[in-house]
Amino acid sequence: MADRHRIELGGRTFWTWCAYDILGIVGALRADGTASSTSPHSGESLEVRFHQGRPESTSLVLFRPDDGYMSCCANVYEDWCPNSNFFESRESASTWAAARGIPGHVMDLAEAGDLATENWEPLTDGLRL
């Protein structure tokens, strides 16, 4: 699987396994930057800008599989991460997930960013960009 989730921070480019990681990494670092991804529903290129770790206001949403879905996965990278994505709308995320039978939540980026940041903060150990 090619990683389709890119982060631009401080003139450097990083790739992540899933869109949820983008929100968590940038949020925990309180960084300014830009993230790029592709909607698995439409193939459309999507971009999120961050200021001090917070995603700027946008109509984009995140689909995040339920935590219980992760417990059924043999390999997080292959089974869970491809299903954590940005979408252009709630409707597109819900349609995509329902067609695949993936239980989860559609969240606006502010809500998803708060949750992801909380999960990633212990891993950054006070680092900031």
Q: What are the pLDDT digits (tens) for 73-100?
A: 677 777 778 889 999 999 999 999 999 9
Give the mean model confidence (pLDDT) for residues 10-22.
93
**Which domain CATH number covers 68?**
3.30.450.410
Whether 128 contacts 31, CB under 8 Å? yes
105 occurs within a structural domain: yes
106 occurs within a structural domain: yes
Q: What are the pLDDT digits (tens) for 32-75?
A: 999 999 999 999 999 999 999 999 988 999 999 986 655 666 77
34 occurs within a structural domain: yes
Which contacts qualify for 112-116: CB closer than 8 Å, 24 or more apart?
112/20, 112/23, 112/61, 112/62, 112/64, 113/23, 113/27, 113/53, 113/54, 113/55, 114/27, 115/64, 116/20, 116/21, 116/22, 116/23, 116/24, 116/27
Range of the domain at 90: 5-124
75 occurs within a structural domain: yes
In this prediction, residue 122 carries a pLDDT of 86
129 occurs within a structural domain: no
92 occurs within a structural domain: yes
**Token duo for residue 91:** 């409707």
Give the mean model confidence (pLDDT) for residues 93-110.
95
Percent of the chain at pLDDT > 90 equals: 71
User: Beta-carbon neighbour count of residue 51 at 10 Å?
Assistant: 12
Name the residue among 41, 56, 46 with its Cα closest to residue 109. Answer: 56
90 occurs within a structural domain: yes
How many domains does the chain divide into?
A: 1
User: Beta-carbon neighbour count of residue 17 at 10 Å?
Assistant: 18
| pLDDT band per the 50, 70, 90 thresholds, residue 1 | very low
Give the mean model confidence (pLDDT) for residues 102-107.
94
117 occurs within a structural domain: yes
In this prediction, residue 74 carries a pLDDT of 74
Residue 3 has pLDDT above 90, yes or no: no
Using CA atoms, how far apart are residues 105 and 127, in angstroms rounded to an integer?
Answer: 29
CA atoms within 13 A on the CB side of 60: 29
In this prediction, residue 128 carries a pLDDT of 62
In degrees and rounded to multiples of 5, residue 88 shows phi and psi of: -75, -15
Residue 127 has pLDDT above 80, yes or no: no
